[in-house]
């Protein structure tokens, strides 16, 4: 895996790239970095895979303070794609990354062939809005969670009961939760999550000119799949896929092969 930095006036963007072939660009969720997609890269040896550290996480350095709307993340990514990929590309993302995918389909269609948005939603409302808003206010007030408590708290939002009830599976998945939250900078966490809370492309999705595939996870408590279905139904060329028995982050360590197989089916279905 090659590590490099791409410079723009607003950001020093750390990115990773591996392989050769058609381009798939992977958008991390909130609190994640590009390197965490390495497991998925391994299922696509016949593609050139690229990912990046979004503003507020990893080794990327923003020259502009928050707030960073989702459109800013998409602008960063579009510039990176033009520089290090051969557009148009397939863009795949999870959670916050799925919102970036939506914005790429809407605002940067010239560099996008199709979008795959996993664990996503449209306008935040109800429980999702209340929970995310409470997390942001807690962090903005200077609140922090001890690492062991953060591990237990966020695991419930990231993985399904199959993982939490199987000691071997939990030991395999636990490092994913720890990397994202055990030592997280509260200010940066709040900045990323505020961007997610504020975003909605629902009013523009009917005019999208690129296919948008939404993957929902049956046991996703962080972004219930019913929310993703609404996004797919709103898009002009939208498609919804439901993966049984999985949670928000099941593509990391839990059932990565099953998720990769669905992504490959979607990407190759549009070749």
CB 6 within 8 A of CB 79: yes
Question: 144 lies in a domain?
Answer: no
Residue-wise over 52-75: b if at least 16 C-beta within 10 A, else e? Answer: bbbbbbbebebeeebebebbbbbb
Instruction: Please report, for the domain that includes residue 42, its CATH number.
Output: 3.40.50.1820
Q: What is the spatial distance between Cα 247 and Cα 264, in angstroms, rounded to a whole number?
A: 19
Question: 32 lies in a domain?
Answer: yes
Q: What is the spatial distance between Cα 102 and Cα 253, in angstroms, rounded to a whole number?
A: 25
Give the structural domain span for 260.
Answer: 2-122+200-269
**Predicted pLDDT at 183:** 75
**Predicted pLDDT at 271:** 67
Residue 255 DSSP symbol: S
**Predicted pLDDT at 184:** 77
When divided into structural domains, the chain yields a total of 1
CB 154 within 8 A of CB 177: yes
Question: 134 lies in a domain?
Answer: no
Question: 162 lies in a domain?
Answer: no
Question: 234 lies in a domain?
Answer: yes
Task: Give the helix/strand (H/E) hosting 258.
Answer: helix 256-269
**Predicted pLDDT at 182:** 76
pLDDT in tens, 22-47: 999 999 999 899 999 999 999 999 99
- CA 119 → CA 102, 143, 195, 249, distances in Å? 12, 26, 16, 8
Question: 135 lies in a domain?
Answer: no
Question: 255 lies in a domain?
Answer: yes
Question: 55 lies in a domain?
Answer: yes
- β-partners of residue 118 are 94, 215
* Mean pLDDT split into 10-residue runs, the chain, 271 residues: 96 98 97 95 98 96 96 98 98 98 98 98 92 92 90 94 97 93 84 96 97 98 96 98 98 98 96 67
**Predicted pLDDT at 185:** 84
Q: What is the spatial distance between Cα 266 and Cα 271, in angstroms, rounded to a whole number?
A: 9
């Amino acid at each position: 895996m090659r590590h490099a930095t791409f410079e723009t006036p607003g950001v020093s963007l750390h990115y990773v790239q591996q392989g050769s072939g058609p381009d798939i660009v992977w958008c991390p969720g909130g609190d994640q970095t590009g390197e965490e997609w390495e497991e998925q890269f391994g299922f696509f040896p016949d593609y050139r895979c690229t990912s990046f550290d979004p503003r507020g996480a990893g080794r990327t350095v923003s020259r502009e303070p928050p707030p960073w709307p989702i459109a800013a993340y998409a602008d960063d990514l579009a510039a990176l794609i033009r520089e290090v990929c051969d557009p148009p590309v397939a863009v795949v993302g999870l959670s916050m990354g799925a919102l970036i995918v939506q914005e790429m389909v809407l605002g940067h269609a010239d560099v996008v062939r199709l979008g795959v948005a996993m664990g996503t939603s449209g306008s935040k409302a109800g429980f999702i809005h209340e929970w995310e808003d409470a997390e942001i206010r807690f962090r903005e007030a200077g609140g922090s969670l001890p690492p062991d408590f953060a591990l237990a708290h966020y695991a419930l939002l990231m993985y399904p009961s199959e993982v939490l009830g199987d000691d071997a599976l939990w030991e395999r998945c636990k490092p994913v939760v720890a990397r994202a939250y055990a030592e997280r900078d509260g200010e940066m966490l709040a900045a990323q999550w505020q961007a997610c809370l504020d975003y909605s492309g629902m009013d523009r999705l009917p005019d999208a000119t690129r296919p948008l595939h939404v993957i929902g996870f049956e046991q996703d408590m962080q972004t219930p799949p019913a929310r993703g279905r609404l996004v797919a139904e709103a898009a002009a060329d939208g498609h919804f896929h439901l993966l049984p028995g999985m949670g928000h982050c099941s593509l990391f360590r839990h059932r990565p092969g099953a998720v990769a197989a669905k992504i490959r089916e979607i990407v190759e279905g549009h070749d």
